[in-house]
Amino acid sequence: MAGILSGWPVRKFLSLTGARVPIIQAPMAGAGGVALAAAAIRGGAVGSLPCAMLTSDQVRAQAAEVRAQAEGPLNLNFFCHMLGDPPDDGAWRAVLAPFYEKEGISAPGAPPPLRAPFDESMCAVVEEVRPELVSFHFGLPEPALLERVRRTGAVTVGNATSFAEGEWLAGKVDMVIAQGFEAGGHAGHFLAGHRPVGTMALTREITLDADVIFVPVIAAGGIGDAAGIAAALQLGAGAVQLGTAYLHTAEATISTAHRAALGEETVITNLFSGGLARGVRNKLIEAIGPVHPDAPRFPYASAALAELRRVAEADGRGDYSPMWAGQAAALGRKLSAQPPEGAQALTERLARETCELLGETP
């Protein structure tokens, strides 16, 4: 009998992507970039660049830098949310007023880059750069743009947080991410009636119904070591997507405060962007709670926090910063080396240990 690593789901993932191991390094704005993606690729994984907060020129430049440093599959990740007109954030600024006063802030400061949805200009970049993979969060772009992406030859990837979302995506993309409740960063739900589901339960529900969802499934959320990878593959996943595990590596661009907080309690919060996302509990969350009704809708809540973040981060504090991390952060901290392990070494080690657990040859 063929082993798990040579079975259809893993074999299909490796064939589609050109990766040597069934791992995608998750795209993480503010935490990963060129160095992390290139190192993951050198380790045999798919390396990812988060593009929602980049300009077209920045995407071109970063993709070129990755390819100059590593040969292998590159994933460009985009958001597909609807912006609409900016909401009035007066009530939100009133909530934050005591913090402005405490930090000595009299003016709001320049707003941060807005998370922008995939559009014509970014589609043109994909056509020019021609990455091996293009992944989407919060649904998919309009059909005409998606078709243009497909014509570049890129493997298309959608993110599902429920079986219904996986079913909706399956006929439109080449692979589906099963993002569980444990995952760090923004939950990518896009259909009404979202209810949190754990990674393993969601992965099994999706992979069990191969007649409906017939594309490779990538498990994401709460997976931080080889045992977690092996478990996901045994449930039928073709690969895993790891984000928090890579936060512990030398190439992660997180702050010292963020790195020190990995392993602390994580919560779902809307304070930092307006969208629900999992991150480490910090001073702002402690003071007003993880979810506040006055936080403007995604992605507009971040503007009022910009100056608070700037002042605190200059002082080495993460009091008002989004310190995204999944529930496996504590596991990663226990397993991480000092000094931090490189992302290439981490990828190679996880692949080797997974093979050992599954009784297969690397």
Q: State the CATH number of the domain containing residue 203.
A: 3.20.20.70
Domain that holds residue 343: 4-82+117-254+331-358
Per-residue pLDDT band at 6 (split at 50, 70, 90): confident
The closest of 86, 85, 197 to 188, measured between CA atoms, is 197
Residue 1 scores a pLDDT above 50 = no
Q: Do 230 and 314 belong together in one domain?
A: no
Q: Do 126 and 211 belong together in one domain?
A: yes
97 within domain boundaries: yes
240-273 pLDDT tens trace: 999 999 999 999 999 999 999 998 999 999 999 9
150-203 pLDDT tens trace: 999 999 999 999 999 999 999 999 999 999 999 999 999 999 988 889 999 999
Q: Do 77 and 105 belong together in one domain?
A: no
Q: Do 98 and 58 belong together in one domain?
A: no
| Structural domains counted in the chain | 2
Q: Do 108 and 136 belong together in one domain?
A: no
150 within domain boundaries: yes
Q: Do 297 and 161 belong together in one domain?
A: no
Name the average pLDDT for the chain.
94
Q: Do 312 and 168 belong together in one domain?
A: no
Q: Do 122 and 243 belong together in one domain?
A: yes
Q: Do 58 and 95 belong together in one domain?
A: no
315 within domain boundaries: yes
Q: Do 349 and 239 belong together in one domain?
A: yes
Report the C-alpha gap between 24 and 164 in whole angstroms: 23
Taking a C-beta distance cutoff of 8 angstroms, is the pair 346, 249 a contact?
A: yes
| Rounded (10°) angle between helices 56-69 and 34-42 | 30
- For the chain, the C-alpha Rg in angstroms (whole number) is 20
Q: Do 155 and 287 belong together in one domain?
A: no
Q: What is the mean pLDDT of residues 84-88?
A: 93
Contacts of 7 (CB under 8 A, 6+ apart): none
Report the C-alpha gap between 324 and 330 in whole angstroms: 13
30-53 pLDDT tens trace: 999 999 999 999 999 999 999 999
Q: Do 340 and 308 belong together in one domain?
A: no
Residue 279, strand partner residues: 267, 324
70 within domain boundaries: yes
Residue 295 scores a pLDDT above 70 = yes
Report the C-alpha gap between 226 and 158 in whole angstroms: 24
The closest of 232, 75, 230, 245 to 158, measured between CA atoms, is 75
Please state the pTM of the whole predicted model.
0.95
Q: What is the pLDDT of residue 128?
A: 98
211 or 10, greater pLDDT = 10
105-122 pLDDT tens trace: 987 777 888 899 999 999
User: How far are the Cα atoms of 103, 300, 325 from residue 107, in angstroms, in the given order?
Assistant: 11, 18, 30
28 within domain boundaries: yes
Contacts of 55 (CB under 8 A, 6+ apart): none
Burial bucket for residue 195 (CB in 10 Å: 0-12, 13-18, 19+)? exposed
232 within domain boundaries: yes
259 within domain boundaries: no
The CA-CA-CA angle for residues 54, 265, 339, to 5°, reads: 70
